Every structure is written in structure tokens, then in C-alpha cells.
Structure 1
Amino acid sequence: MLVIQENAWERLGFITDGTSAGVCNGLEQPRKQQRSDLNGPVDNNNIPETKKVASFPSFVAVPGPCEPEDLIDGIIFAANYLGSTQLLSERNPSKNIRMMQAQEAVSRVKNSEGDAQTLTEVDLFISTQRIKVLNADTQETMMDHALRTISYIADIGNIVVLMARRRMPRSASQDCIETTPGAQEGKKQYKMICHVFESEDAQLIAQSIGQAFSVAYQEFLRANGINPEDLSQKEYSDIINTQEMYNDDLIHFSNSENCKELQLEKHKGEILGVVVVESGWGSILPTVILANMMNGGPAARSGKLSIGDQIMSINGTSLVGLPLATCQGIIKGLKNQTQVKLNIVSCPPVTTVLIKRPDLKYQLGFSVQNGIICSLMRGGIAERGGVRVGHRIIEINGQSVVATAHEKIVQALSNSVGEIHMKTMPAAMFRLLTGQETPLYI
């Protein structure tokens, strides 16, 4: 039996943007030319990206039954589609539970039709981009899953179970779906879509999907200008391990003088008069930041708050780790109160970043789109330097880039080596402060 880890795509794809999707997909064609991934070594001759990628040697050996080039184009296996079912599962179940889930899916599908179960002949299409199930007779698409959405697969004899995960909608009732074996109450549950197939090539199918992940990873590196043969994971890890986390937050949050408990007075029925934004994925304490205050509102009248302050709790309710909408709802709920207790950390609106890049061959590990950091490589030198997703780059090495073209920002970052100093702020705050957006006070 072959099982692909549930987090395989995150591990292979490297990049996350802090949203539910979790990944900035380097394998799809970019939507805009203005988005640049700073994840590869730089050629000082300014060779276009397409030429650099084309000059790379053939694929580094990827173990598996298929030729890597075939997986890029896509391969097809003949199979019988038995049916699909849905399970609820924890995010990271154990291998034993995964096997139980696969067996449960097979049991449900086989028992749903009883002895009169019908088989549908299908073509199972596997590539580095997606997995599709086509009706063998009509070639109509029955199922279509992007490869990154596949949680794991299992082959049991001549049976293949393909599982894809998606989060349960807020309004969905779990009563309509049976809970998977081994699931624990109180833990967040995910809906697993389980497709069951029968094929003499069951093991080969599972191995091919596993190989597709590996080839997709190499394609990701090549698309971002990284020669898989030039930079070993160990070499990059050694550099990471020698660097300490640089983040002003760590020092700033440890200083008791910056941590304050405030009491604000307001009239009943009066809004607090603030705009809050997310601190950004990568911040040491994910919470909301005060981005604007209404003139004459309770927050502004108090004289105790400043733009950039991070709100830790309100009336004893912690905001750390909560979604922005939830934090906004808590603030809106203060309307009928006359006193509000806030725990804040006084912070400047601008975040200081220090990236240490010893050589151009080491990727910076983040992507920029129109001056905004849109993705960040986990555990990379940028994350260690304090880079945050959703922040607008204000300054690079002492030079303002507020009015600088996208291409020049990318060039400045790509060609930088040694210590790279940046100043950033949440993009939403930047738009408010520069009058690009009208504040909606709560």
C-alpha cells in the first residue's frame, strides 16, 4: 500500500499565503506579468526567465514507474469506477486511521448498491497538474481534481482509493455525513471526498500519483529559476540553521513598557470608531492592527491609541489567532457598552525586516505582486527575517520604493546579497493612510 501524506503538496510546493488555500501555485501559468517569485538564484547577465529554465539539464532522477516528461503531459490508466462517498476527518490523522478511512470508503461504496453494483469503465488521467476521471465511452469528464488538492491515496489489492479534502462550509451540517472511524470530538473536521476504483494496475496507479508530486516539485523549482541540481535541500537547510530569527516583534513584545492595559470611555450606542487589519501571516503574534481612527470617536478621543498598535484582547477576550471578521464582530459588539478594556502592544505602523542572504544562489523565498508580498516560503531566510504576507514594501536598503515600478522592486531584491533591510506595512493600512480607500469605521 502507498499513502501520500496529507500535507504533501504544502511540503513540495513550499509556499503559503495564509489563506484557506494555503499555497501559491507555482505550476499554473501566472495570471499577471506583475507577479514575481523571488525564490531562485539570480543570473547577473539578466537572462530572461524562460531561457534560464530551458538551459537546465534534464530532470534529476525521480523514482517511479513513469517518465517525468510523460507525467507533465499526462498519462492514462484504464479502471472501473465503483463510486464515491464522503467522510469527516481530522486534519492530520495517523496512518492507521488513514487505512481505516480507505477501508471504510471501500465498504460504503460496495454496500451502497448491494449485489447489483454497476461498474463504469473510466480513463484515469494523471499529470503534474491534475487528476481527471473520464468516461471511457464518451470521454466526458466525471471528476477533476487539481493535484494539490489530493490528500492521499491508497491501493488495497486491486482497489484504488483517491481522497481529496476540503473544509466543511460554515452552514453545512455534519449530521448528513458519517464521521470517519477514529475521529475525536472537539477537533476541527474536514470533508473528505473519496473516489473508489478497481484496476489490475492499482499499485502502479498509486505509485504514478506519488511520482507526479515529485515531478511537480521539480517543475516548480524550474519555473522559479532554480536548477534542482545546483541547490541541495541540505545546503539550504544548513544556511537556515545558522541564522537567528530577526524580528523586531520578539524584542518589542518582550518589553513590558510596550504592553498596555487601557480603559476607554464611550457613550452607549456609539461605535468605537476604528479600522483594524490583519497583522499578516508571519507575524510573531497573529492579531489585528489599528489602521485608522475616526475623528472625534471614542478611540481617538481617548488619546491612548496610535496607528499600528496591535490589539491583544478586548474586555478579556483574546483576539490572537482569530480571523479578521471575528475580531471585527467583537469590536462591533461593543456598541452598547460604555466602558471598554483593551490590552494592546504599542507598535509603529512600519515593520522592520532584515534578510541575510549569503549568496545569490540562495532563494529569497517570497513572491511580490505590485509591491505587495503575496506568498512566503516556510522556514526560509525571508520568514526568518520578518517578512509578512499581505504587507506592502515601503523601503529597500534605505531607499523608498513607494512609487517604484514593480520590475525595479523585483530587480533590487533579486540582485541583493548580504544583509537586505526592508520596511513594510499591511497593504490595507497603506491604502488607508494614502487615501486610496475610504475607512469603514466600526
Structure 2
Amino acid sequence: CESKCESECECESKCECESKCECESESEFEWECESKCESECESESESEFECECDFPGPCEPEDLIDGIIFAANYLGSTQLLSNKNPSKGTRMSQAQEALTQVKSQDGDSQTVTEVDLFISTKAVKVMNADSQETLMDSALRSISYIADIGSIVVLMARTRMAGTSSQDCSEADLSCSEGPRRYRMICYVFESEDAQLIAQSIGQAFSVAYREFLRANGINPKDLSQKQYSDIINSQEMYNDDLVHFSNSDNCKELELEKQKGESLGVVIVESGWGSILPTVILANMLNSGPAARSGKLSVGDQIMSINNTSLVGLPLATCQGIIKGLKSQVQVKLSIVSCPPVTTVLIKRPNLKFQLGFSVQNGIICSLMRGGIAERGGVRVGHRIIEINGQSVVAMPHEKIVQTLSVSVGEINMKTMPAVMFRLLTGQEIPVYI
């Protein structure tokens, strides 16, 4: 793109797999993972995965799989409410509005932070250039829009649904009775001389991610169009969907805990795991004599959404731990939680062996997951320890046997998992460090 470039990343199917990214400017570019370019790039290779014309952009596809880094200045962030699928003109207006809001936050004394912007087919991360502390970590599928305006890049990431409470409705001046669902967008604003390359690279990452998505599921795009594959995936229900569970008012609780001044809360928290729709922390253990356990209001497995009105959703584990440690001087703590069992139930529907499961296991622990695949739709989460497969305990099963069991399983595959750290704590393999 030789001038201002807008990159829109829209998820076409219900599961929002990485399927399409469009880059629109005076010379319109489209990056689409379809087989429409077959006539232009036919070869005698067995797979069309290697056809480079499927992935136009500034980067080598293999580099995007590993991840690339751009230097940028982080100017700030703001939040906006948006319909699920606004027009491209509306997207650009939102990007302009975000830029205006961020610039007006500090005026002439605007704080600028030098950062490394990491882009891959799995995630977009922002790290402090000096300390390498992670400031933002969003799955690629959550990125809704990227706009570059001169040397400015606006990156918009969709978070939870908005307008689901009376507070949300009053803030946005919305009617809670009827109307389209609205989503809360976090807009990150950066400045970089590589603004156009950053926008194009994220767009290209969607195309490459779609190729890997097909490859992981044993599908050649030459034999199956994007729409056909989306139909297959959409025919499978999202099992144990977090949003469904979290939207049940019976599971959502506002709690107040009493404690002594100088007393720690007495908890151990772990990450919910990549694959959970709302990334937050899970209560993994409680000190028997601590305030959390004494209250009788909390259980191992509960997901903590906020503490004293500070949201923990999307924050790094270390940041969440720091917030809890900072409660020592307080005598009352307000928690917003979602009651969840410590064990996660997974149901993978695998029609036949042609469909790869789309996740990898090491010593019983799920260590990687393909976004949008049958495993994610079944509730698989990275960092979880597999406890059971089809009713059979695999806790003491050798790694090779677990892999063999999974590789030959078809139909409905039932699993029970829990965060690996929680498993080690509950089984006495790890000594808890309470905060």
C-alpha cells in the first residue's frame, strides 16, 4: 500500500477462525484464503499450501509462523463500543476516534513508551523494549481491525460483549431491551515508521494462519473451499462455551471478604489457559487459615474477574499477583468471580482420522492449540493437564500411550482436564506459595 492503509480482519464463521483479512486503500488489496487463484498458480506439487500467491504481503509465511518484531512507540489505549460487523467506513471512523482520544489524554505531555510489536499467526504481543515485560497479549483471532494513518497504527481488539448490564447500558446510553449486540473494543495506538508494513503483516498473518488451520486438520484447500470447510466447522457446536457459562447469572457472584490489616489473602492463582474465551486467573489453592478459605465463599476453580473493581481480564499473571499482594493493607476486599469447577470437561467431535485434532501434548500437558479447530471448539486449553480420556484415567499413563490413544480416537472424544499447576498443587507435587 503506497498510501493510508486500512486492514480489516473479520472472522467469517461462528467460531471466528482466522479466515480472512482485507487491506483496503487507493490500490485495493485483498488477502483471501480461497482457491480462486488456482488457475494463476497451478503447479505439479501435491499441495497448494506452498502457493505463495495465497499470501501476498511483506513477510515470508514461515517468518510469521515463528513471529516477527517491529519497533514502535506506544502512545496509549482507549475503549470503544462497536456492533459486531460494522461497515469499513465505520471501522475507520472508530480508528480516528481512538487516535483522537489517546492524543487528548495527556495533551502536549503525552507519554511515549518504546515497545517491540510481535506479530505471529497465533498472537499479537506488545513488549516493553527495555524490560521485555508484556504489555499486551491478544490472540490473532481477537484482532478486529488494523488501520495505519501516516506513521500511526491503530490496533483494535475485541474483548467481551458490552451492554449486558445496566451499568454498561447507562454508560453507552443504550437500551437494554432490544438491539444488536455490542462489543467492547480496546484500541491500542502506536507510532512507527513501519506503520504500513505492520498493518500489512498482520493482514498477511491471517492468511498464513488459515493455511496452517487447514493443514492441522488434514485439508488441502485445492480440494475444499473456505466456505465448505467453514460449514463443516460450523456444524459442530461449541462445547462448554465460556460465554454461555459466564452469562449465566447463577455463576457470577460479587463477594466481600473480611481480613486483618497486614494479612495476605492466602491464595494461589494460575492462568486460565490459552483457549479460554475470557482470559483471566483461576483460584488454584487456598491457605486453610487464610481470609479466602475462612470466608467459605470461594472454591478452587473459581475464575476471578475483578478485585476492588479492577478488572483482571487479559492481564498477565504477574500483574494479577501484584494486585493481590497489594491488598495486605486493606481490611475488606471486593471480588467479582465466576464459579467454575476445577476440572474442565472437553468434548471433541472428530468425524474421521482425516481431521487432525489440532493440539499437541507433552507429558500429559496440552502445550499448543490451533485456533478455530475441532479441539478448541471442544474446550481444549493450553497449559491444562489431561486427567481422563473417554472415562479412562491417564494420570499415570506414559506419554507415548496418551498420544497413541488420542491419535486413533474418532467420533466423540471426552476428556477431563485442569490447569497443570493446579494439578501439581492438588497432588502435592508442588508446594503452594500463598499471596
TM bin (shorter chain)? 0.5 to 0.7
- What's the secondary structure of 1:412's corresponding residue? helix
* Secondary structure, aligned partner of 1:431: helix
Q: 1:322 aligns with which of 315, 320, 329?
A: 315
SS in 1 for 2:401: helix
Is 1:305 aligned to residue 275 of structure 2?
A: no
- CA deviation profile, 1:80-109 (whole Å, cap 9, x unmatched): xxxx99676999x97xx9xxxxxxxxxxxx
In structure 1, the residue corresponding to 2:318 is in which secondary structure?
Answer: helix
2-structure distance, mates of 1:296, 1:408: 41
> RMSD of the TM alignment (CA)?
4.9
Match of 1:291 among 272, 284, 294: 284
**Equivalent residue, structure 2, for 1:181:** 151
TM-score (norm. length: structure 1): 0.56
2:235 matches 1:264: no
Q: Which residue pairs with 1:404 in the alignment?
A: 397
Q: Contact 1:359–1:417 at 8 Å: present in 2 too?
A: yes
Q: Unmatched 5+ residue regions in structure 2?
A: 19-44, 55-59, 64-69, 78-90, 96-117, 133-148, 156-185, 196-202
For 1:411 and 1:7, locate their aligned partners in 2 and report how far apart those are by CA, in whole Å: 41
Shift of 1:248: 5.6
Percent identical pairs in the alignment equals 70
TM-score (norm 2): 0.57
Instruction: Tell me the CA shift for residue 319 of structure 1.
Output: 1.8
Partner of 2:46: 57
| DSSP 3-state at the match of 2:250 | helix
- The residue number in structure 2 matching 1:421 is 414
Match of 1:421, as an amino acid?
N
Measured against aligned partners, the alpha-carbon deviations of 1:355-378 in whole angstroms (never above 9, x if no partner) come to 112222122222222222222222
C-alpha distance in 1, partners of 2:427/2:221?
A: 42
Equivalent position to 2:129, from 150, 154, 169:
169
Counterpart-to-counterpart distance in 1, 2:152 and 2:374: 38
Q: For residue 351 of structure 2, what is the aligned residue in structure 1?
A: 358
Contact 1:394 1:425 in 2 (8 A): yes
The Cα shift of 1:397 comes to 1.0
User: Residue type of the partner of 1:290?
Assistant: L
Residue correspondence of structure 1 range 30-429 to structure 2 within 5 A: 57=46, 62=51, 167-169=127-129, 181-183=151-153, 187-190=187-190, 192=192, 194=194, 229=222, 232-247=225-240, 249-429=242-422
Contact 1:277/1:289 (8 A) holds in 2? yes
Q: CA separation in 2, counterparts of 1:392 and 1:259?
A: 26
**How much has 1:246 moved relative to structure 2?**
1.2
Distance 2:61 2:131 in 1: 38
Deviations 1:380-413 (A, max 9, x none): 2222211112111111111111111222222222
Offset, 1:271: 0.5
Deviations 1:50-73 (A, max 9, x none): xxxxxx8365672659xxxxx999
The residue identity in structure 1 corresponding to 2:292 is A
Supply the distance in 2 between the matched residues of 1:217 and 1:251 (Cα, whole angstroms). 26
SS of the equivalent of 2:387 reads: strand
The 3 A distance-change label for structure 1 pair 226 and 192 is: farther
Which has more radius of gyration?
Answer: 1
CA contact (8 A) 1:279 1:426 kept: yes
C-alpha distance 299-166 of structure 1, shift in aligned 2 (>3 A): closer
Tell me, in whole angstroms, the C-alpha distance in 2 between the residues paired with 1:188 and 1:61. 33
Q: Which amino acid in 1 is paired with 2:338?
A: V
In 2, Cα distance between equivalents of 1:304 and 1:73: 49
Counterpart contact for 1:367–1:373, Cα < 8 Å: yes
